[in-house]
Amino acid sequence: MADWHVVQQRMMPDETNADFAAALRDLGGNNMIRERVLLAQFYHSLDRTTRLLVKQRPKPATLEKAVGKATEINAD
> What class is the 2-75 domain?
mainly alpha
The span from the CA of 65 to the CA of 8, in Å, is 22
Segment 23-52 mean pLDDT: 87
The span from the CA of 33 to the CA of 53, in Å, is 25
pTM as predicted: 0.79
What pLDDT, on the 0 to 100 scale, is given for residue 8? 63
Segment 23-35 mean pLDDT: 80
Residue in 27, 31, 35 with CA at minimum distance from that of residue 8: 27
Q: Is residue 51 very low, low, confident or very high in pLDDT (cuts 50, 70, 90)?
A: very high
